[in-house]
Amino acid sequence: MRDYKLIKFRGKDYFVFNCVLSGFVFLFAIVYLSQIAFYTKSDLEIKKLEKDLQTTQAENEYLSRKITDANTINNLSLASKELGLVKTDKLDYIMTTEEVFVAK
């Protein structure tokens, strides 16, 4: 059997150990809380940027539709000019037995 030596600590040794241990716990708590604060700040910034992105995407979609509508009207107007179409003032309908035809 082995003889184990008992180490006797004095009261002063416990005080130093407790101070060092308390220091590590305090340091760990400060690091932990600073990380929570940092990630909370980052999370708020990310949420703000996501909201801005959604707003920008909605605005982009609206403007894209507006440009498409404007281009459609311009394209129709250019195509009608190229084809030599003119605006009609009065429509005369010719009635037949099968279908209805429009004539100028």
At 54-75, the pLDDT tens digits run 999 999 999 998 888 877 877 8
Question: Higher pLDDT residue, 32 or 89?
Answer: 32
> What residues form DSSP beta bridges with 100?
95
CA–CA separation, 23 and 31 (whole Å): 12
* pLDDT score at 32: 94
pLDDT band at 48 (very low <50, low <70, confident <90, very high): very high
Q: Among 7-16, 30-39, 84-93, where is mean pLDDT lowest?
A: 7-16
pLDDT at 10 over 80: no
Report whether 102 contacts 91 (CB < 8 A).
yes
* pLDDT score at 63: 93
Tokens of 67: 């440009």
pLDDT at 86 over 80: no
Give me the torsion for CA of 42, 45, 46, 50, rounded to 10°: 180
CA–CA separation, 39 and 27 (whole Å): 18
